[in-house]
Chain A
């Protein structure tokens, strides 16, 4: 019986990770394309822009990965009080909410970070990316990844704060 529960948990984890991973990456790609077309008039994907998009997608994936631990804790706590069917439905919807928070945080960090950096320097980074300046794309990508790694702990903490842990007596 225990092994069945563990098996179900692992299947749920793998399935939800793959599904949400694909969804997140596709959504990130489309959003970045749309925003860069709207704000910076970047209409074609050259090498530089490809590098930039890849870094945003990577940072989104890394940030969304911080969802896993809080989500699993949440599932284990729900398992105490819910029947299987209700459990999986609730896990699906609430898990989606957690992932949405991580996804929005990742996009926010990536796009705001690069927009601010672009404003602070005399160089027009997105113009350079449009002109296929690979060096600038690499620098922007490094900034995005660094900011994501710095903020990842905070997002994980935010998600932990909304997991409905049972109360503990104060120490």
Chain B
């Protein structure tokens, strides 16, 4: 009787260990593909505008959104980007890029604020949770597939790639029009969207890691930077599934992260 109970206990323990190991070593890519097989994002381009249909997940909710962007507005944004002048009086890497990012912030002509209203209206009125509101906006951008934006011609080391883009960054309107963007492109767009939604947001960059992210003033936990005495939790923007406050293990040293763009 005792030995059979012990055997049952051992079998249960073995099953738990197998389940744990199976979960830990499961291929995340396979899991994501089976969950997203029904998701179909559309983009229809015409001579004058592009129609975008995006479907994404945020905190166990599914969102879908139609929006429209205009070719001439995108051209204005592109032209403005080419006129950007970097500062010749800079003390640091972060200040240099902060100066460029600030000039990318859209004017009323190339505003992206309509996206904030559209995304937040997808929430039901009772969902006033700050973190979930921010997450709905951030996850919209995280869901857009990553494209390397390079100031030099693409050399084939990473695809997809968009080369010969001045400063290796697209302005927020260009990003939502083309749906092509890398870490700093996404971070600048999210800075604008989250500021418009009422969240204190920073763009943070690292010279050592050659990477950019946002940091947001929300009631969360985890890794953060202090700005004006408030905790701004770091948030990875280039892939889905990253919550606030979690730094990728290869970018974990907070001493290497500096504020490039901050709100007034």
Contacts and interface: CB of A to CB of B under 8 A. Distances in A.
- Same complex for A and B? Answer yes
Interface of A: 1-3, 5-6, 9, 72-73, 76-77, 79-81, 83, 90, 93-94, 97, 157, 160-171
A165 B32 CA distance: 13
Contacts of B252: 160
Contacts of A3: 219
12 contacts: A2-B131, A2-B218, A76-B221, A76-B245, A80-B60, A80-B241, A80-B243, A83-B60, A97-B17, A157-B249, A166-B242, A169-B239
Interface residues of B, number: 38
B121 interface: no
Contacts of A162: 24
Interface string B226-262: 0000000000101111110110110010000000000
Contacts, number: 79
B4 interface: no
A71 B98 CA distance: 34
B225 to A, nearest CB: 17
A123 to B, nearest CB: 41
Contact of A94 (B20, B32, B59, B158): B20
B249 A76 contact: no
A1 B129 contact: yes
Nearest to A9: B221
A165 B249 contact: yes
A171 B129 CA distance: 34
A73 B28 contact: no
Interface in B17-36: 17, 19-20, 23-24, 26, 28-29, 32
B219 A2 contact: yes
Contacts of B146: 169
Nearest to B20: A97
A79 B244 CA distance: 11
Which of A72, A81, A162, A168 is the most central at the interface, judged by chain B CB atoms within 10 Å of its CB? A168
Nearest to B32: A167
